[in-house]
Amino acid sequence: MRILVVEDEIELADAIATGLRREGYAVDVANDVAGAIERLSVSAYDLVTLDLNLPDGDGLELARRVREDPELVPPGDDPAPRLLMVTARDGVGERVAGLDEGADDYLIKPFAFAELSARVRSLMRREAGRSGAMLTVGELELDTARFEATRRGRLLDLTAKEFALLRYFMTHAGEVLSQERLLEHVWDENADPLTNTVRVTVGTLRRKLTRDDDAEPPIETIIGAGYRLRPDLLASEAGAS
């Protein structure tokens, strides 16, 4: 999942970004409204953490633009990003105003990173139409709180990027995901689109998911289109002896 952190306190922005990257998210940072608009206009984000007190404008107006401005609408069929307002504005009226402008959640500064992380996980599960910390596709389970993935009870040894990629596949199980879409949502703005990083990471993840008794790997390549996680190949009875 790709997140944009909009925060003018540079040290805080870097701390949030670093923590989220350690949890497998792709994270970009903007320190003002102009920078946020620039990034939102060219990239599709799954979630935006948004400070309201920005040096060149009000975060509430930016939230309104994210919801209404066609230039900031994600390309293709991607939904608008979830908005998590992270601000020192703690009045009831201010919280109500933030939610009325389209915020999905509201976190008051100062905060513990663990709470921000939990709110991000909650919003990402809501986007996937799921509840609880577990994502399940057949016999494949991913615990978003403990950062563990298992297949048929066997723990999978995944890197942070493989975990993030699997999380995106599982929230879009059965869909054909293009290399461009995976690059957009699982990697950050520093990723080189001309490299084969997506192909290589998908390949290593596919090997780690595949069991010796599988008739086919659960991640298939659709020539000229992308990749798909096959729920039918992960049904509880699939590959059972």
Q: What is the mean pLDDT of residues 40-55?
A: 91
CATH number of 205's domain: 1.10.10.10
Residue 241 predicted with pLDDT over 60: no
The count of other CB atoms within 10 Å of the CB of residue 181 is 21
For 162-198, the pLDDT digits (tens) are 999 999 999 899 999 999 899 988 988 877 776 789 9
59: left (phi over 0), alpha (psi -120 to 50) or beta: alpha
| 25 is a domain residue | yes
Q: Name the 3-class secondary structure at 128.
A: coil
Which residues constitute the domain of residue 203? 134-233
| 238 is a domain residue | no
Picking from 75, 108, 127, the residue at the C-terminal end of a domain is 127
| 213 is a domain residue | yes
What is the structure's pLDDT at 77?
A: 54
Picking from 76, 101, 127, the residue at the C-terminal end of a domain is 127
Give yes or no: residues 158 and 226 share one domain: yes
| 73 is a domain residue | yes
Give yes or no: residues 170 and 87 share one domain: no
What is the structure's pLDDT at 128?
A: 55
Positions of E strands within 67-182:
82-87, 105-108, 134-137, 140-143, 148-151, 154-155
| 144 is a domain residue | yes
Q: What is the mean pLDDT of residues 216-234?
A: 92
Give yes or no: residues 70 and 27 share one domain: yes
- CA distances from residue 65 to 4, 35, 60, 105, 139 in whole angstroms, order as listed: 15, 14, 9, 17, 41
What is the structure's pLDDT at 238?
A: 43
Q: How many structural domains is the chain composed of?
A: 2
What is the structure's pLDDT at 152?
A: 87
What is the structure's pLDDT at 119?
A: 92
Give yes or no: residues 110 and 39 share one domain: yes
Give yes or no: residues 22 and 115 share one domain: yes
| 216 is a domain residue | yes
| Euclidean distance between the first and the last CA atom of the chain, given in angstroms as a whole number | 35
Give yes or no: residues 91 and 155 share one domain: no
| 239 is a domain residue | no
Give yes or no: residues 85 and 111 share one domain: yes
For 20-44, the pLDDT digits (tens) are 998 889 999 999 999 999 999 888 8
Give yes or no: residues 123 and 139 share one domain: no
The confidence band for 236, taking pLDDT boundaries of 50, 70 and 90, is low
| 241 is a domain residue | no
Give yes or no: residues 173 and 122 share one domain: no
Identify the H or E element spanning 12.
helix 10-22
Residue 70 predicted with pLDDT over 50: yes
For 83-112, the pLDDT digits (tens) are 999 988 888 888 888 888 888 999 999 999
Asked if residues 164 and 186 have their Cβ atoms less than 8 Å apart, the reply is yes
For 116-165, the pLDDT digits (tens) are 999 998 888 776 555 557 888 999 999 887 889 999 889 999 998 999 99
CATH number of 88's domain: 3.40.50.2300
Picking from 107, 127, 147, the residue at the C-terminal end of a domain is 127
Give yes or no: residues 14 and 69 share one domain: yes
Query: What tokens appear for 166 in the block?
Result: 């699997």
Alpha carbon distance 108, 116 (integer Å): 10
Give yes or no: residues 92 and 196 share one domain: no
What is the structure's pLDDT at 12?
A: 95
